[in-house]
């Protein structure tokens, strides 16, 4: 992307003028952004993402960031020689693993995102689902049909949870202080157990509770792709089950889509899955007429 010194003042003015109607559409609205994938490990993209969040805030929009950290968690588990497995796109989390997950998510990753936003000229406050009783978690319950017996059997993911209750008061307080909330998706159950929650699911629950206008899920692909590898720019709820059943939607994309369906049904106007590796992906999606990802609405 060219430096602004290489762009004429006339071009800058035209870009701002073209973006103005889209900015006005979102003034005063809440936009929840799930930040994750390998883009988090790219220093240039991380700084651009932070700058984009500051730009949203300066434009009168209320961004809320929920971050993941799968690659970073995986790297730390490898360093500690802790084996990790996945089922249905979710990391099975034992008692030893949950300690590492919380350390990485609530520690280094969360504070790095906060620091980048501060360097970009904004204010951010890093929390987890535990802070201010933001999220009360419950153990994730899923079943899978045994191919031999045809009996539904429970899948044990260990300390993997899902949001049972979202108490958004602390988010309203942070937003009122002109700051950007940055949330690590770790929460406590009513019994006091710590649970790792899929960041897409957590972001979806926050978007519903905050009555957000948009939920944006940044990932490592352009969006939802068909079997030819082409982007599906619009996705109807009625088509999703068929796309999952025929394998078009699979792996880590399944919990993303599940979150999208729940969020749209919960009243959020639109959910966008887009490539976080694309520079300024959030601004391109919100402030240009065509967008860059897959929209479910």
279-288 pLDDT, tens per residue? Answer: 899 998 888 8
Counting the structural domains of the chain, the total is 1
Strand partners, 154: 143
Q: Is residue 2's pLDDT more than 70?
A: no
User: Smallest Cα–Cα separation from 64: which of 4, 120, 113?
Assistant: 113
Residue 87 lies in a domain: yes
Q: Is residue 270's pLDDT more than 80?
A: yes
When pLDDT is averaged across residues 260-281 and rounded to a whole number, the result is 90
- CB of 104 closer than 8 Å to CB of 268: no
CATH assignment at residue 290? 3.40.1160.10
Mean pLDDT, the chain, rounded, equals: 88
User: Smallest Cα–Cα separation from 273: which of 205, 206, 215?
Assistant: 215
When pLDDT is averaged across residues 90-107 and rounded to a whole number, the result is 91
When pLDDT is averaged across residues 111-118 and rounded to a whole number, the result is 97
The reported pLDDT for the residue numbered 15 is 65
Residue 14 lies in a domain: no
Residue 2 lies in a domain: no
Q: Which residue has the higher pLDDT, 59 or 6?
A: 59
Q: Is residue 13's pLDDT more than 80?
A: no
Residue 12 lies in a domain: no
**Longest Cα–Cα distance in the chain:** 69
Residue 171 lies in a domain: yes
Q: What are 142-173's pLDDT values in tens digits?
A: 877 766 666 777 788 899 999 999 999 999 99
Give the H/E segment covering residue 197. Answer: strand 194-197
Q: Is residue 221's pLDDT more than 90?
A: no
Query: What confidence tier does 30 reach under pLDDT thresholds 50, 70, 90?
Result: very high
Residue 11 lies in a domain: no
When pLDDT is averaged across residues 213-231 and rounded to a whole number, the result is 89
Share of residues in the chain with pLDDT > 70 (%) = 91
Residue 70 lies in a domain: yes
Q: What are 120-141's pLDDT values in tens digits?
A: 999 999 999 999 999 999 999 8
What is the DSSP annotation of 104-151?
IIIIIIHHHHHHHHHHTT--EEEEETTGGG-EEEEE--EEEE-TTT--
Residue 16 lies in a domain: no
The reported pLDDT for the residue numbered 1 is 46
| 187: DSSP letter | E
Q: The domain containing residue 247 runs over which residues?
A: 26-296
């Amino acid at each position: 992307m060219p430096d602004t010194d290489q762009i004429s003042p006339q071009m800058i003015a035209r870009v701002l003028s073209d973006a103005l109607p889209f900015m006005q559409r979102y003034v005063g609205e809440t936009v929840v952004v799930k930040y994750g994938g390998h883009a988090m490990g790219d220093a240039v993209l991380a700084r651009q993402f932070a700058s984009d969040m500051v730009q949203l805030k300066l434009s009168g929009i209320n961004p809320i960031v929920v971050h993941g950290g799968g690659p970073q968690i995986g790297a730390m588990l490898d360093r500690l020689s802790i084996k990790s497995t996945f089922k249905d796109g979710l990391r099975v989390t034992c008692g030893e693993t949950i300690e590492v997950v919380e350390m990485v998510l609530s520690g280094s990753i969360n504070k790095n995102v906060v620091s980048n936003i501060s360097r970009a000229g904004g204010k951010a406050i890093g929390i987890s689902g535990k802070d201010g009783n933001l999220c009360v978690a419950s153990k994730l319950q899923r079943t899978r049909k045994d191919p031999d017996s045809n009996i539904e059997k429970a899948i044990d993911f260990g300390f993997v949870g899902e949001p049972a209750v979202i108490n958004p008061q602390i988010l309203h307080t942070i937003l009122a202080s002109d700051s950007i909330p940055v949330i690590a998706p770790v929460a406590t159950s009513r019994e006091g157990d710590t649970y790792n929650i899929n960041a897409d699911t957590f972001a979806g629950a926050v978007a519903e509770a905050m009555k957000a206008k948009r939920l944006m899920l940044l990932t490592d692909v352009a969006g939802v792709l068909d079997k030819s590898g082409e982007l599906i720019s619009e996705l109807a709820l009625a088509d999703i089950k068929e796309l999952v059943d025929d394998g078009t939607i699979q792996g880590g994309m399944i919990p993303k889509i599940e979150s999208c369906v729940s969020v749209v049904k919960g009243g959020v106007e639109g959910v966008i899955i887009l490539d976080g590796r694309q520079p300024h992906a959030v601004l391109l999606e919100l402030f240009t007429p065509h967008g860059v990802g897959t929209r479910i609405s």
